[in-house]
Amino acid sequence: MHMYRFRLIEKERGGSARLGEIRTSAETVETPAFMPVATQGAGKAISPLDLRRLGFRVLIANAYHLYLRPGTDIISSLGGLHRYMSWDGAIVTDSGGYQVLSLAKSRKITEDGVSFRSHIDGSQHFFSPQVSIAVQEDLGSDVMMCFDECPAHDSPYEYVEKSVSLTTRWAKLCKEARRNPSRALFGIVQGGVHEDLRERSTGELVDIGFDGYSIGGLGVGESSGATFEITELCAGLLPEDRLRYLMGIGTPSDIVRAVALGVDLFDCVIPTRNARNGTLFTSRGKVVIKNSRYAYDRSALDENCGCYTCGNFSRSYLRHIFMAGEILSLQLLTLHNLYYYSELMRRIRESIKTGTFRHLHSELIDAEEE
pLDDT digits (tens, 9 = 90+) for 302-333: 999 999 999 999 999 999 999 999 999 999 99
pLDDT at 347 > cutoff 80: yes
Q: 134 and 225: one domain?
A: yes
Q: Point out the catalytic residue in the list 142, 264, 267, 302.
A: 267
Q: How far apart are CA 157 and CA 214, in angstroms?
A: 21
Mean pLDDT check: name the lowest of 70-79, 100-109, 338-347: 100-109
Contacts of 91 (CB under 8 A, 6+ apart): 26, 58, 59, 60, 61, 81, 82, 139, 140, 141, 142, 143
The pLDDT-based confidence of 146 (bands split at 50, 70, 90) is: very high
Half-sphere CA count of 82, side-chain side, radius 13 A: 17
Q: 64 and 151: one domain?
A: yes
C-alpha pair distances (Å), 61 with each of 37, 99, 203, 267, 348: 6, 12, 27, 10, 24
Q: 38 and 147: one domain?
A: yes
Of the residues 268, 284, 305, the one at which a domain ends: 268
Does the annotation count 112 as an active-site position? no
Does the annotation count 94 as an active-site position? yes
**What is the predicted pLDDT for the residue at 181?**
87
Q: 298 and 337: one domain?
A: yes
pLDDT at 365 > cutoff 90: no
Q: 315 and 202: one domain?
A: no
pTM of the model: 0.97
**What is the predicted pLDDT for the residue at 105?**
75
Q: 90 and 205: one domain?
A: yes
Q: 63 and 210: one domain?
A: yes
Tell me, what CATH number does 179's domain have?
A: 3.20.20.105
Relative to beta strand 212-215, strand 243-246 is parallel
Choice between 3 and 312, residue whose per-residue pLDDT is larger: 312
Contacts of 326 (CB under 8 A, 6+ apart): none
- Structural domain for 170, as ranges: 4-268
Q: 251 and 280: one domain?
A: no
**If DSSP codes are grouped into helix, strand and coil, which group holds residue 164?**
helix
Cis bond before residue 271 (omega within 30° of 0) = no
Of the residues 268, 293, 319, the one at which a domain ends: 268
**What is the predicted pLDDT for the residue at 97?**
80
In this structure, are residues 245 and 212 in contact, taking their beta carbons and an 8 Å threshold?
yes
**What is the predicted pLDDT for the residue at 369?**
67
pLDDT at 141 > cutoff 90: yes
Contacts of 244 (CB under 8 A, 6+ apart): 212, 213, 214, 215, 234, 235, 238, 262, 263, 264, 265
Q: Point out the catalytic residue in the list 94, 211, 254, 264.
A: 94
Report the domain count for the chain.
Answer: 2
CA angle, 44 as apex, 280 and 30 as ends, to 5°?
A: 80
Q: 69 and 181: one domain?
A: yes
